[in-house]
Chain A
């Protein structure tokens, strides 16, 4: 379901699942074109619920919102604030707070209508899948209404969520000829066809319920690092100090990341210390050589620590410039130093801008997956 707003009029674009077998059958006979098995309905009114009800005049079945898998928020709506939407979604008996919430650049309508589908039968199912499996990347995240609202309600934290956008991706080419039949003659591919598919890209940052800016993937990873929400991510670091080498890259898979944030008071000024402990494994080695020595590991660890610290610092920089606190630093202060928080509470996210935040990163390379040396070394 997408939400947009034009001149005070809410416009809801809903993707309604069409539960017939026909869709998938057509899809399979259409030469591998992934067809969305949905019906797009739109409703407009001065309020959100009104817009939902407006759809009743256009859809021959009951529009049942419990199973809404995701809400796409148009950028314009985001900038004006999500309060109306959150109010409706928490108040309504049918709506569920486990619905995912995502932000679109520009209009939600365009994403929802424009997507041509990929593996799943609907955008909703795709987004549900992205929520489940995107955490192995660590550069974006999908929050649901409940998580979003929890961050919103916390005084010392600002909400954020993933950004979804459309991009053209290549598609399995249609073979020539009218009938697919059983002809096996290979025809030349004449045109390279593309289809519009979804992807997650970075985070949308909110100040209270209002969208204020976007974080690019690397900054997003910094934010998620400081939030402790990284399940798994890949870091690229130099294999050795020798920068002249071309094959000087190693991928480290972070599989355990912990953060510990301490709020202290130094001469009346709050000082935050974030201690990040990351455990990782050597996951891929482009470097042609042995990296199994303790010194190599120490070098990799040092590099990884630097990468993580840099990203976290970038993220803090971005947050400071936007005047938001997606890290929940305010909550940390409130929990650890109540008096200090009472002073800072009134102008919280701004106070963050002047705050000294030191980041202490520790990285540990624990193992090298299933093999110790690369295949080249073996032979």
Chain B
């Protein structure tokens, strides 16, 4: 019965532009062109119709001072407390409002200014905005006779608490990770970057999902053109849904066929803030704890946030091992295949003998052996990644027994190959970025095949192909290997090695950042800087000390070392005039101290001053 009335109602009231035949992508744009109706009953009916009279849609109609009002919201997207506050103000506190002499009447401006006790209130004039607002968790306040409606921010739904990120775990450093809620995520960034220049620009991507996407950058560090390019590329996306950042990543990356990631993704707010400070642009997507930053440089894939949180010597020492791990995990199986198949002379004889003895029983050539092991390992990895935790252990045991032991005993693979694959597997998890691990996984098997076909020549051909590709690759216009190719000495401070913080004076060159300097120079602890006069006095005091005690200390300053080489032998030509003036000054000082002590009549001091004076004269 209800359905019948509705259908009848729809035929009469609903704008014919939107009906069940409208393509789903065009529903909201069409609704945006549909103006909000004056009549409350029509508006309510339209909302119900547009949302298909959903079960979670709540419309509460009330009457105040003869005016019919209605609030509409979607039950589970709104904060119950806020709704309660709103309803209380509408229903219970009316007398108070009246006592205060405020006459809301049916004026929408008055309602907006004074009638709603909640933070964000906006006026909307079309159905598109209204519906989007409802779907975002806002509450719509409508009244009979208004040509517009009020949208009150009452967002609030169940969300996961902030927890430690699953990827890029650190020992020292923040334990907070992003969550699925974009608002929480932006708060995590803002809490770490309290500056008015942090810019958050909101975009909506996905015709059906209407996912909220934030483009975040620091105005004044990030290049404006880069920001514009990021926004441009995101706006260009026409897709029905965005469920994870990768939907965007796939659409905005420069080279779509490259195995290398060109957009950095991380779960860590501190890492994102560090990127923002380097002049990169972050892209937050609602519904995923992974935040994208662009442009990505290859070096970033081997940088862990922890590198910057621990003593630089340790980071400097550890980072090269990641590069070594990269080389091992990409090339070791291929190298093994190449050498045992083609270049046996490169092995020491005893090693060759031992490998030969192991391979005596193996029916397949080394390449088949390597591929079997690699494929088994990949399958095991895939199985382990998707398996419920309780079964993980079983896979581990089966994997260890089957691959590690039984395969060797059965004569399918040689122990040396097991070692190679194990070393490769371990090395491939030495990178902080899982993206790179996957890239290397992709490259490994083609490299093994090339090595099997052409030996070391094939392996190095593969390496050269990869390098050519990397050199060509760009991420938002910045060279992928920025720092190495094109080479920049300044960037070696944070590439293969990680320099101490006081050396990292400039941000990495991404091209066209506005503000490249990161910190002041010479920030080590130094004695207080002295002014010229102070320095002169200090020098005189030094000289007196030296004359009286026979030893002197060099005043220690770092920024402008004071010339203190009083020794005739080490006095340089260029400082002659300076030392001459100093000598005059010293003479004066000595004279005055002499007179002064004489006046005081202390014989001991007289002796000292006399020694000072004559000592100097004698030296001349």
Residues of A within 8 A of B (CB): 17, 19-21, 64, 66-67, 69, 94, 96, 121, 124-125, 128
Residues of B within 8 A of A (CB): 344-345, 349-350, 352-353, 356-357, 359-360
B357–A128 touching, CB < 8 Å: no
A96 to B345, CA, bound (A): 9
Residues in chain A near residue B356, CB distance under 8 A: 17, 19
Closest chain B residue to A66, Cβ basis: B345
A94–B345 touching, CB < 8 Å: yes
B613 CB to closest chain A CB, in angstroms?
Answer: 61
Residues in chain A near residue B357, CB distance under 8 A: 19-21
A21 to B360, CA, bound (A): 9
- A-B pairs with the 7 shortest C-beta distances? A66-B345, A19-B356, A19-B357, A67-B349, A20-B360, A19-B360, A21-B357
Which among A66, A96, A124, A128 has the greatest number of chain B C-beta atoms within 10 A? A66
Closest chain B residue to A21, Cβ basis: B357
A94 to B343, CA, bound (A): 10
- List 19 contacting pairs A-B, 8 Å CB cutoff, sorted by A: A17-B353, A17-B356, A19-B353, A19-B357, A19-B359, A19-B360, A20-B357, A20-B360, A21-B357, A67-B344, A67-B345, A67-B349, A67-B352, A69-B349, A96-B345, A121-B353, A124-B349, A125-B349, A125-B350
Apart from A19-B357, A67-B344, list 10 A-B contacts with CB within 8 A.
A17-B356, A19-B359, A20-B357, A21-B357, A21-B360, A64-B344, A67-B345, A121-B353, A124-B349, A128-B349
Residues in chain B near residue A17, CB distance under 8 A: 353, 356
A66 to B356, CA, bound (A): 15
Residues in chain B near residue A121, CB distance under 8 A: 353
Residues in chain B near residue A94, CB distance under 8 A: 345
Residues in chain A near residue B352, CB distance under 8 A: 67
Residues in chain A near residue B360, CB distance under 8 A: 19-21
Closest chain B residue to A120, Cβ basis: B350
Residues in chain B near residue A128, CB distance under 8 A: 349
Which among A17, A69, A121, A124 has the greatest number of chain B C-beta atoms within 10 A? A17
A19 to B358, CA, bound (A): 8
A288 to B353, CA, bound (A): 51
B362 CB to closest chain A CB, in angstroms?
Answer: 11
A21 to B411, CA, bound (A): 13
A94 to B344, CA, bound (A): 10
Residues in chain B near residue A69, CB distance under 8 A: 349
Residues in chain A near residue B359, CB distance under 8 A: 19
A237 CB to closest chain B CB, in angstroms?
Answer: 40
Dominant SS at the A interface? Answer: loop
Residues in chain A near residue B349, CB distance under 8 A: 67, 69, 124-125, 128
Closest chain A residue to B356, Cβ basis: A19
Dominant SS at the B interface? Answer: helix
B99 CB to closest chain A CB, in angstroms?
Answer: 102
Residues in chain B near residue A125, CB distance under 8 A: 349-350
A66–B344 touching, CB < 8 Å: yes
A94 to B342, CA, bound (A): 11
B365 CB to closest chain A CB, in angstroms?
Answer: 13
Residues in chain A near residue B344, CB distance under 8 A: 64, 66-67
Closest chain B residue to A65, Cβ basis: B345
A100 CB to closest chain B CB, in angstroms?
Answer: 12
A75 to B315, CA, bound (A): 63
A67 to B357, CA, bound (A): 15
Closest chain A residue to B347, Cβ basis: A67
A96 to B344, CA, bound (A): 12
Closest chain A residue to B357, Cβ basis: A19
Residues in chain A near residue B350, CB distance under 8 A: 125
A67 to B354, CA, bound (A): 13
A131 CB to closest chain B CB, in angstroms?
Answer: 12
A139 to B33, CA, bound (A): 105
A69 to B345, CA, bound (A): 12
B408 CB to closest chain A CB, in angstroms?
Answer: 13
B347 CB to closest chain A CB, in angstroms?
Answer: 8
A69 CB to closest chain B CB, in angstroms?
Answer: 6
A66 to B350, CA, bound (A): 13
Closest chain B residue to A68, Cβ basis: B349
Residues in chain B near residue A64, CB distance under 8 A: 344
Residues in chain A near residue B353, CB distance under 8 A: 17, 19, 121
A133 CB to closest chain B CB, in angstroms?
Answer: 15
A46 to B345, CA, bound (A): 28
Residues in chain A near residue B345, CB distance under 8 A: 66-67, 94, 96
Closest chain B residue to A93, Cβ basis: B345
A14 CB to closest chain B CB, in angstroms?
Answer: 15
B321 CB to closest chain A CB, in angstroms?
Answer: 33
A96 to B360, CA, bound (A): 25
Which among B344, B352, B353, B356 has the greatest number of chain A C-beta atoms within 10 A? B353
A124 to B349, CA, bound (A): 10
A102 to B353, CA, bound (A): 23
Closest chain B residue to A19, Cβ basis: B356
A294 to B330, CA, bound (A): 66
Which among B344, B345, B352, B359 has the greatest number of chain A C-beta atoms within 10 A? B345
A19 to B416, CA, bound (A): 15
Closest chain B residue to A64, Cβ basis: B344
B311 CB to closest chain A CB, in angstroms?
Answer: 44
Residues in chain B near residue A21, CB distance under 8 A: 357, 360
A96 to B347, CA, bound (A): 13
A125 to B350, CA, bound (A): 9
Closest chain A residue to B350, Cβ basis: A125
A124 to B356, CA, bound (A): 16
B340 CB to closest chain A CB, in angstroms?
Answer: 12
Residues in chain B near residue A66, CB distance under 8 A: 344-345
A94 to B349, CA, bound (A): 14
A96 to B359, CA, bound (A): 24
Residues in chain B near residue A67, CB distance under 8 A: 344-345, 349, 352
Closest chain A residue to B352, Cβ basis: A67
A297 CB to closest chain B CB, in angstroms?
Answer: 44
A21 to B358, CA, bound (A): 8
Closest chain A residue to B354, Cβ basis: A19
A128 to B349, CA, bound (A): 10
B143 CB to closest chain A CB, in angstroms?
Answer: 93
